């Protein structure tokens, strides 16, 4: 039986495993990384690895979601009263920051997409993007938030795919700021309709 996630040892070993996967998958494809390598790099045993993940691709997906979640800031509640130009600049800054993170960790993310990508990964990525697009407390509003959440999920899916395509094919041709401008422009036009 696995220890509860609130157990500090469980939390530490999971964090160590995720850090090890980020390092190893940042260097080579997921399929070239073994469970023993991850456990050794994390300073844990193979059974400890299995307490957290069934295999390396699962660990790689968890690591990618962890990384992106940490790199993608939440919207500030203060955005409600700012001018359209200030909003656009704030959104571009946030988006460019995330895109810079993706570009700096390009090998890691591409290795995860290509070697561990599945519906759970992409569902998690869309959920992170959609969640970060909503103002704090917006997802707790009843009734009216269902349509808003659906629109955010649809938009988040498109943003995620544009970002993945950019990372795979356009990374040298289009700087993060230019791609951020494209994404924000599309997002704001979609939000108006």
Q: What is the pLDDT of residue 121?
A: 96
According to DSSP, residue 166 is labeled I
- How high does pLDDT run on average in the chain? 88
Query: In angstroms, rounded to a whole number, what is the distance separating the alpha carbons of residues 192 and 175?
Result: 26
The average pLDDT across 121-138 equals 82
CB under 8 A, 24+ apart: contacts of 34-42: 42/13, 42/16, 42/17
The average pLDDT across 134-156 equals 69
Query: In angstroms, rounded to a whole number, what is the distance separating the alpha carbons of residues 117 and 126?
Result: 13
Instruction: Annotate 50-80 with b (16+ C-beta within 10 A) or e (fewer).
Output: eebbeebbbbbbbbbbbbbeebbeebeeeee
Q: Looking at the predicted structure, is the pLDDT value of residue 167 above 80?
A: yes
Query: In angstroms, rounded to a whole number, what is the distance separating the alpha carbons of residues 28 and 187?
Result: 34
Query: In angstroms, rounded to a whole number, what is the distance separating the alpha carbons of residues 164 and 172?
Result: 14
pLDDT digits (tens, 9 = 90+) for 98-129: 999 999 999 999 999 999 999 999 999 999 99
Q: Looking at the predicted structure, is the pLDDT value of residue 139 above 60?
A: no
Kindly indicate the confidence band of residue 174, based on its pLDDT and cuts at 50, 70 and 90. Answer: confident
Q: What is the pLDDT of residue 61?
A: 98
Query: In angstroms, rounded to a whole number, what is the distance separating the alpha carbons of residues 107 and 25?
Result: 8
Highest mean pLDDT pick, 42-56, 118-132, 141-155: 42-56
Query: How many residues appear in the chain?
Result: 193
Q: How many CA atoms lie within 13 Å of 38's alpha carbon, on the beta-carbon side?
A: 33
Q: What is the pLDDT of residue 1?
A: 46
Q: What is the pLDDT of residue 136?
A: 55
Query: In angstroms, rounded to a whole number, what is the distance separating the alpha carbons of residues 80 and 180?
Result: 21
Query: In angstroms, rounded to a whole number, what is the distance separating the alpha carbons of residues 48 and 36?
Result: 11
Tokens representing 15 are 């964090």
Question: 26 to each of 20, 106, 114, how far by Cα in Å?
Answer: 10, 8, 13
The vertex-129 CA angle with 172 and 152, nearest 5°, equals 120
Question: 192 to each of 72, 129, 134, 153, how far by Cα in Å?
Answer: 23, 19, 15, 16
Q: What is the pLDDT of residue 193?
A: 44
Q: What is the pLDDT of residue 4?
A: 63
């Amino acid at each position: 039986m696995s220890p509860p996630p609130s157990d500090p040892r469980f939390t530490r070993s999971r964090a160590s495993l995720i850090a090890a996967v980020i390092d190893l998958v940042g260097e080579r494809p997921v399929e070239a990384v073994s469970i023993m390598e991850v456990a050794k790099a994390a300073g844990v045993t193979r059974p400890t690895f299995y307490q957290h993940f069934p295999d390396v691709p699962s660990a790689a997906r968890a690591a990618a979601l962890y990384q992106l979640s940490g790199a993608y800031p939440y919207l500030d509640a203060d955005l409600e009263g700012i001018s359209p130009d200030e909003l656009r600049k704030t959104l571009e800054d946030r988006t460019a920051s995330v895109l810079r993170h993706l570009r700096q960790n390009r090998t890691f993310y591409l290795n995860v997409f290509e070697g561990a990508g599945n519906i759970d990964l992409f569902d998690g990525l869309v959920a992170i993007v959609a969640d970060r697009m909503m103002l704090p407390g917006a997802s707790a509003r009843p009734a009216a938030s269902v349509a808003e959440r659906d629109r955010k999920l649809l938009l988040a899916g498109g943003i995620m795919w544009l970002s993945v395509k950019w990372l795979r094919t356009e990374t040298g041709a289009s700087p993060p700021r230019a791609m951020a401008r494209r994404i924000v422009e599309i997002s704001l036009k979609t939000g108006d309709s």
